[in-house]
Amino acid sequence: MEKRKLGRTNLEVGVIGFGGIPIQRLKEEEAIDLIKKAADEGINFIDSARAYGESEKLIGKGIAGNRDHWYIATKTMARDYESMKKEVETSLADFNIDTIDLYQFHLVKTEAQLEQILAPDGAFRALKEAQEAGKIKEIGITSHSAELLEMAIETDYFSTIQFPYNIVERQGEALFKRAAEKNIGVIIMKPLAGGALEDGDLALRFILQNPNVTVVIPGVDKEEQVYENANVGKNFVPLSEVDQKRIEEIKQSLGTTFCRRCGYCLPCPQKIDIPTQFLMEGYYSRYELQNWAVERYGVLPKKASECVECGVCESKCPYDLPIRSMLKNVVAKLEPNNK
């Protein structure tokens, strides 16, 4: 498999990684088997998170006996020093390893959160101490906001960034170019747009044709996905004119109903985090994570059912999405009592 250096790190990662969110719904033996098959196919980068249910534990069992093959990445929503110290220890125990290759700040949304992380009593200090103790190797950050990551990479505190990028979500391309200039690794999540894109081969080739991308991490929960994904990294075929035409057709077909999580619809007068509503609905509808999505949705401070249909969000959406109608779909899927 083609390998690329992960920014300023010494990690030589295969361009196709293993997204660890979907395996939480598999039986233990199924998850272990998938991870072993992925290793056999040359996949050597695997991504998880503290928020992904049993994912870290399952990955730990899947890599047992073959630790040297894998680069292990995980992430947490912890923002303060003490919480981060505990999260690192929990991850190490769950993976059953001594060192985590990449520990990331998960889903940082605002400049205030970034400032909290970097404050003297913030979570970054805990990760630096863990790095000095040999418990982690590199520190990264993930977000759905290109503007937030543009600020983050200028601090020079992070070795990697992780951001959504696919045929219909291209707002990160300038960010990736700047990251490459600063020798920061670029990890791509949501390569299939949360399952909205059906042609996985085309979707992955589109991403890997961007020279500023280091590794893409499609979620994996089926054996055929391992082989199909790995094949793209082992036998990369540049996009043809026919491929480019198909890409444009896909963009057009999804353009009126697909949330790109750009955030221009915010702030909502009712304080609803509109992009997160659609993110949770995507997990429910496309990833077959119904119970997990309902649970995560249930703890959101404001829900789609609290929309008063004022329409302010639609007036600000650069893609002219029918947001009010889309929020009703969220209610139908994730709030059965409000149908």
For 223-232, what is each residue's pLDDT tens digit?
A: 999 999 999 9
The pTM of the full predicted model, rounded to 2 decimals, is: 0.84
For 3-49, what is each residue's pLDDT tens digit?
A: 999 999 999 999 999 999 999 989 999 999 999 999 999 999 999 99
Domain range enclosing 72: 3-240
Residue entry with tokens 């290793």: 39
Statement to judge: residues 321 and 214 lie in one domain: no
- Which pLDDT score is estimated for 287? 75
Could you give the 3-state DSSP secondary structure of residue 332?
Answer: helix
What percent of the chain stands above pLDDT 70? 99
* Token duo for residue 57: 């534990």
- Which pLDDT score is estimated for 323? 96
Is 53 contained in some domain? yes
Is 245 contained in some domain? no
Last residue of a domain, one of 195, 219, 240: 240
Statement to judge: residues 283 and 208 lie in one domain: no
* Token duo for residue 122: 């913030």
For 242-283, what is each residue's pLDDT tens digit?
A: 999 999 998 887 766 778 777 779 899 999 999 999 989 988
Is 328 contained in some domain? yes
* Chain centre distance of CA 161: 10
Q: Name the residue type at position 250.
A: I
Statement to judge: residues 194 and 106 lie in one domain: yes
Statement to judge: residues 188 and 288 lie in one domain: no
The overall average pLDDT reported for the chain is 94
Statement to judge: residues 224 and 280 lie in one domain: no
Statement to judge: residues 18 and 116 lie in one domain: yes
Statement to judge: residues 46 and 114 lie in one domain: yes
| 339 pLDDT more than 60 | no
- Which pLDDT score is estimated for 254? 77
- Which pLDDT score is estimated for 76? 98
| 166 pLDDT more than 60 | yes
* Token duo for residue 55: 């994912």
Is 269 contained in some domain? no
For 174-219, what is each residue's pLDDT tens digit?
A: 999 999 999 999 999 999 987 778 899 999 999 999 999 999 999 9
Statement to judge: residues 140 and 227 lie in one domain: yes
What are the Cα distances from residue 195, in Å, to 166, 246, 288? 11, 17, 10
Is 262 contained in some domain? no
Is 125 contained in some domain? yes
Is 222 contained in some domain? yes
Statement to judge: residues 220 and 300 lie in one domain: no
Facing residues of 219 across strands? 19
Statement to judge: residues 30 and 130 lie in one domain: yes
| Domain count for the chain | 2
> Quick one: average pLDDT of 63-78?
98
| Burial readout 231-263 (b: 16 or more C-beta within 10 A, e: otherwise) | bbbeeeeeeeeebeebbeebeeebeeebbbbbb
Domain holding 184: CATH number?
3.20.20.100
Is 232 contained in some domain? yes
Of 167, 220, 269, 205, nearest to 47 (Cα)? 220
Statement to judge: residues 67 and 212 lie in one domain: yes
- Which pLDDT score is estimated for 261? 73
Last residue of a domain, one of 240, 261, 284: 240
Statement to judge: residues 31 and 160 lie in one domain: yes
74 — pLDDT class (breaks 50, 70, 90): very high
- Which pLDDT score is estimated for 116? 98
